Amino acid sequence: MNENSKINPVINQKITEQIHSKIKPEMKDIALKLFSIHLAVAIVTLSFCPQLGVSTFNTGLDLAHKFMSLGKYSCELFCGFLFTSSSIAVSFLFLSRDEIRLLRYNKTFLAALFVLVSIGGLLMFNTKLFVELSILWLVGTLFGVVGTLELGSFLLRKI
């Protein structure tokens, strides 16, 4: 290599930092994106499937009523699953493969984040939430996060 072909150290450092940030994104940045996605998707989801007594718009569509026809316990499980799985599914449209990969390796953090954010958000609209909160709804939310993340990652690898 001759003297003229050396890379400027400042440019080299910037390129290295950009590559590193793409390959290993910050969890706080991903969490902020996920929170925004979940907020938007939750507003839409609550318009046709109320969660624990919380509904955003009265659209006339009532998926919870359909779930209730399967029984109270099935309704709790399916509603929780739908509430979180829809947000994870939409996040595949907005997150990079590296961000999704990082989430897969931090499933416990992601599931806890979604459950706590969901309960906190619903609690703001319904202060009697803890009377209605059920273990099956929590199980449904956890399966929604982890199951959709795994399925989406599997499908993404096939593309």
Indicate whether 31 pLDDT > 60.
yes
Residue 5 lies in a domain: no
**Is 53 a member of any domain?**
yes
Inside any domain, residue 50: yes
Residue 149 lies in a domain: yes
* Residue 38 counted as domain residue: yes
141, 147, 144, 137: which is closest to 72 by C-alpha? 137
Could you tell me if residue 7 is inside a domain?
no
Handedness of CA 8, 11, 17, 20 (dihedral sign): negative
Which domain covers residue 66, as residue numbers? Answer: 25-158
| Residue 26, φ and ψ in degrees, nearest 5 | -75, 135
Question: Considering the domain boundaries, does residue 63 fall inside one?
Answer: yes
Strands of the chain (E only): list them: none
For 73-120, the pLDDT digits (tens) are 888 888 889 888 999 999 999 999 889 988 898 888 888 888 888 888
Q: DSSP 3-state assignment of 86?
A: helix
b (16+ CB within 10 A) / e for 140-149? bbbbbbbebb
User: How many domains does the chain contain in total?
Assistant: 1
* pTM above threshold 0.85: no
- Is 28 or 129 the better-scoring residue by pLDDT? 28
**Vertex 80, ends 78 and 110: CA angle to 5°?**
130
In whole angstroms, give the CA distance from residue 158 to residue 79: 29
Q: Is residue 42 part of a domain?
A: yes
